[in-house]
Amino acid sequence: MNQAGAVPGHLALDAEALYVQLREGVRHLLRPPTRLVGIASGGAWLAERLQEDLALPGRAGVLSSVMHRDDFAQRGLSASTQTQLPFDVNGADILVLDDVLYTGRTLRAVLNELFDYGRPACVRLAVLVDRGGRELPVAAEFAAARIALPADLHLALARTETGAFHFDVKEVRA
């Protein structure tokens, strides 16, 4: 199962169309000092592309959840992207971007990582897809789509060599 549309009985998701909705939603959330920060990897891809498409100055930041995950003992250190924040976090208005919001555990981890770098004035969240299933009390200010998926399916943003977005859906084995 590679594309979201390939899962029998589930809604086909057009990642590029959802990106256009996300771009417009983010445009309305921006304030003059807002800095974009994406969660590695899908959120970082979104932040990078939004930074360019919205002609924002500077570079988007990247947050890694790897050092603050509550399942670190099982997962260990992955070869994921490291946190890169090309601005002073203290007093910053930060818009965190992610591809899929599910339990909220990754968001908790990246917020801990973010606060290791300083104390922002404001942190907000925008996501491509909110799939429900929260284990922690977090919510996105903007979600391009809200869907329900069975817990045994993992949904993640992927991109082609040319940078076009699509979704990968995989079965999670217990």
The pLDDT tens digits of the residues spanning 74-105 come to: 555 555 679 999 999 999 999 999 999 999 99
Residue 22, pLDDT above cutoff 70: yes
Give the global pTM.
Answer: 0.89
Residue ranges of domains in the chain, CATH in brackets:
4-72+81-171 (3.40.50.2020)
CA distance 44 to 62: 6
Residue type, 124: R
CA distance 78 to 81: 9
| Inter-residue long-range contacts of 56-59, CB under 8 Å, 24+ positions, other chains counted | 56/30, 58/86, 58/87, 59/86
pLDDT of residue 172: 85
Residue 10, pLDDT above cutoff 90: no
CA distance 97 to 40: 9
